[in-house]
């Protein structure tokens, strides 16, 4: 029975990879909504493997108790202790070892192989019945393997699967008509870089921050900027090429992201004036002595589509405010639901406590200002500082012809008050809850 259970666990674990390819698009693109679809998908993938491997421990415990009838307590204690150790090893091993070295698909294959080896070890002790079971399990495993191969399920969808992200880089030359490449981190397109013209910004929000900086920062002086998150390093790369003498610090947590940008998105990590810190942005900023040193702090760090909670709190914003020049700008990229951006409103309310002027900018015509025509997933840029931006509209002066509008101040303050969101602090920053509408609402997909 143990051998059959382990064999079943091996086959069903192996089947999770082709099943994922077969079901993910069907469920996530259907009418269920994101959260119910994920629950159904996880159940379909992992219920059978969990049941198969879950029956092994009770059977082994019963056998051990029968073997030592007078030691029920110690036997149960040892089995529970071994189960706890296995859980701890699995959790730590997956996060710090297996995903880093062999990726998620490789980890699934390694687990299936381990179950298969253990199944063989148990089944060979029962020659006749065990041989038949081995043949059946081998046939089932072979069929699943052929199925998986036919749909390329055993290859990772990531070019690089690091400790933090699934990193993909795609050639965009056919779409743009120029040598260019796209970087996606997990499910979010983070950067599109042009090989020959670093100042050509395909991402509107990056283009906006560049245009705003041209108007608000002191003329004739090379900027000093701190970038929260590197990704494709689109803006740091452009400024390093454009402004001799610039002092640009980029805090990018994942060294694999920097390597991908250098290998595929034409980043020169050794460019004059460019300093790349592979550490958490909050810790990196804290290490800089307080004082008005930066012209720009640009927040562009994401975990999937959400900003990490420790980078949106009042305590973090206070540190940023103390390090901005009087004319300096704190710009932060925010993705939220256009119709009811609860996280955006909470973030504006929080920033209001440390910055005299907090603005929200949106790409589009003036009708989008105030949220009148916003639907679905929307990209906002919050701009905070000691001084307001000049004007309520900003038209691109270079590159693509784009227009951005500022959310009218009275309308924005009214929406913030109506939303009633919390002030985001280190003690309470419920980013996921505030962004749940983006995941659950039909127009937020």
115 contacts 9 by C-beta, under 8 angstroms: yes
**Considering the domain boundaries, does residue 180 fall inside one?**
no
Q: Estimate to the nearest angstrom the gap between the alpha carbon of 318 and the chain centroid.
A: 25
Residue 434 has pLDDT above 50, yes or no: yes
**Considering the domain boundaries, does residue 333 fall inside one?**
yes
Domain boundary among 86, 121, 150: 150
Same domain, residue pair 101 and 210: no
Long-range contacts of 125-134 (CB under 8 A, 24+ apart): 125/3, 126/3, 130/3, 133/3, 133/4, 133/7, 134/7
Q: What average pLDDT does range 312-327 have in this prediction?
A: 96
- How many domains does one find in the chain? 2
Give 212-222 pLDDT, tens digit per residue.
Answer: 999 888 677 89
**Considering the domain boundaries, does residue 22 fall inside one?**
yes
Q: Rounded to whole angstroms, what are the CA distances from 131 to 13, 127, 145, 227?
A: 22, 6, 20, 62
Give 190-217 pLDDT, tens digit per residue.
Answer: 899 999 999 999 999 999 999 999 988 8
Same domain, residue pair 285 and 374: yes
Q: Where does the pLDDT of residue 444 fall: very low under 50, low under 70, confident under 90, or very high at 90 and above?
A: very low
Same domain, residue pair 359 and 418: yes
Same domain, residue pair 203 and 342: yes
> How far is residue 219's CA from residue 237's CA, in Å, rounded to a whole number?
20
> How far is residue 124's CA from residue 116's CA, in Å, rounded to a whole number?
12
> How far is residue 307's CA from residue 291's CA, in Å, rounded to a whole number?
25
pLDDT of residue 367: 57
Give 64-122 pLDDT, tens digit per residue.
Answer: 888 888 888 998 999 999 989 999 998 888 888 888 788 888 999 999 999 999 999 88
Give 250-281 pLDDT, tens digit per residue.
Answer: 999 999 999 999 999 999 999 999 999 999 99
- 162 versus 187: which is more confidently predicted? 162
Q: What average pLDDT does range 315-327 have in this prediction?
A: 96
**Considering the domain boundaries, does residue 179 fall inside one?**
no
Domain residues for the domain of 46 are 2-150
**Considering the domain boundaries, does residue 177 fall inside one?**
no
Give 326-377 pLDDT, tens digit per residue.
Answer: 999 999 999 998 888 999 999 999 999 999 999 999 998 655 555 455 667 8
Same domain, residue pair 263 and 336: yes
**Considering the domain boundaries, does residue 45 fall inside one?**
yes
Q: Where does the pLDDT of residue 170 fall: very low under 50, low under 70, confident under 90, or very high at 90 and above?
A: very high
Residue 126 has pLDDT above 70, yes or no: yes
Same domain, residue pair 195 and 85: no
Buried-exposed string 80-112: b where 16+ CB fall within 10 A, e elsewhere: eeeeeeeeeeeeeeeeeebbeeebbbbbbbebb
Same domain, residue pair 125 and 208: no
> How far is residue 322's CA from residue 324's CA, in Å, rounded to a whole number?
6
> How far is residue 412's CA from residue 405's CA, in Å, rounded to a whole number?
13
Same domain, residue pair 214 and 353: yes
382 contacts 358 by C-beta, under 8 angstroms: yes
**Of 357, 331, 65, nearest in space to 206 by CA:** 331
Work out the end-to-end distance of the chain between its first and last CA atoms, rounded to an integer number of angstroms. 45
Domain boundary among 122, 150, 178: 150
Q: What average pLDDT does range 166-185 have in this prediction?
A: 94
> How far is residue 239's CA from residue 225's CA, in Å, rounded to a whole number?
10
Give 135-148 pLDDT, tens digit per residue.
Answer: 888 999 999 999 99
Q: What average pLDDT does range 164-174 have in this prediction?
A: 93
pLDDT of residue 48: 94
Domain boundary among 150, 167, 198: 150
Q: Where does the pLDDT of residue 188 fall: very low under 50, low under 70, confident under 90, or very high at 90 and above?
A: confident
pLDDT of residue 36: 81
Same domain, residue pair 235 and 356: yes
**Of 380, 312, 304, 303, nearest in space to 340 by CA:** 380
**Considering the domain boundaries, does residue 184 fall inside one?**
no
- Within 8 A by CB and 6+ apart from 131, the residues are 123
Give 286-307 pLDDT, tens digit per residue.
Answer: 999 989 999 999 999 998 888 9
Per-chain mean pLDDT for the chain: 90
Q: Where does the pLDDT of residue 384 fall: very low under 50, low under 70, confident under 90, or very high at 90 and above?
A: very high
Same domain, residue pair 342 and 258: yes
**Considering the domain boundaries, does residue 402 fall inside one?**
yes
Same domain, residue pair 284 and 397: yes
Phi and psi angles of residue 354, each rounded to the nearest 5 degrees, phi first: -125, -10
Residue 130 has pLDDT above 80, yes or no: no
CATH code where residue 438 lies: 3.40.50.150
pLDDT of residue 279: 96
359 contacts 407 by C-beta, under 8 angstroms: yes
- Within 8 A by CB and 6+ apart from 149, the residues are none
Look up the pTM and report it.
Answer: 0.83
> Beta-strand (E) ranges in 88-246?
160-161, 166-171, 180-185, 188-194, 224-228
- For residue 392, give the DSSP letter: S
Same domain, residue pair 203 and 255: yes
> How far is residue 231's CA from residue 167's CA, in Å, rounded to a whole number?
10
């Amino acid at each position: 029975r143990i051998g059959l259970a382990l064999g079943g666990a091996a086959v069903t674990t192996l089947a999770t990879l082709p099943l994922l390819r077969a079901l993910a698009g069907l469920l996530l693109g259907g009418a269920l909504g994101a959260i119910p679809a994920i629950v159904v998908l996880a159940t379909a993938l992992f219920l059978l493997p969990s049941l198969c491997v879950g029956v092994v421990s009770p059977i082994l415990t019963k056998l051990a108790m029968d073997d030592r009838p007078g030691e029920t307590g110690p036997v149960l204690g040892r089995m529970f202790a071994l189960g706890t150790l296995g859980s701890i090893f699995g959790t730590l091993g997956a996060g710090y070892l297996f995903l880093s070295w062999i990726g998620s698909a490789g980890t699934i294959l390694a687990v299936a192989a381990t179950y298969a080896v253990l199944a063989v070890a148990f089944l060979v002790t029962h020659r006749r019945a065990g041989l038949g079971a081995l043949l059946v399990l081998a046939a089932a495993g072979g069929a699943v393997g052929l199925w998986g191969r036919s749909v390329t399920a055993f290859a990772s969808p990531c070019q690089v699967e690091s400790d933090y992200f699934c990193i993909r880089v795609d050639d965009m030359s056919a779409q743009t008509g120029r040598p260019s490449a796209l970087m996606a981190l997990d499910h979010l397109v983070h950067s599109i870089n042009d090989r020959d013209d670093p100042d050509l910004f395909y991402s509107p929000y990056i283009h906006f921050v560049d245009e705003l900086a041209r108007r608000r920062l002191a003329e004739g002086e090379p900027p000093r900027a701190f970038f929260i998150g590197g990704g494709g390093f689109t803006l740091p790369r452009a400024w390093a090429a454009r402004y001799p003498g610039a002092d640009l610090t980029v805090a990018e947590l994942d060294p694999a992201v920097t390597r991908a940008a250098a290998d595929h998105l034409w980043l020169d990590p050794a460019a004059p004036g460019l300093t790349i810190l592979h550490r958490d942005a909050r810790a990196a900023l804290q290490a800089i002595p307080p004082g008005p040193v930066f012209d720009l702090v640009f927040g562009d760090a994401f975990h999937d589509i959400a900003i990490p909670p420790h980078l949106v709190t009042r305590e973090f914003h206070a540190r940023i405010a103390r390090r901005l020049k009087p004319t300096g700008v704190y710009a932060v990229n925010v993705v939220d639901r256009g119709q009811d951006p609860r996280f955006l409103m909470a973030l504006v309310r929080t920033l209001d406590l440390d910055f005299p002027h907090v603005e929200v900018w949106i790409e589009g015509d003036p009708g989008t200002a105030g949220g009148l025509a916003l639907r679905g997933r929307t990209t906002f840029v919050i701009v905070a500082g000691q001084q307001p931006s000049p004007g309520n509209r900003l038209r691109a002066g270079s590159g693509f012809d784009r227009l951005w509008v500022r959310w009218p101040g009275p309308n924005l303050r009214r929406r913030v008050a109506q939303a009633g969101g919390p002030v985001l602090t280190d003690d309470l920053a419920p980013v996921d809850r505030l962004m749940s509408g983006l995941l659950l609402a039909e127009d937020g997909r």
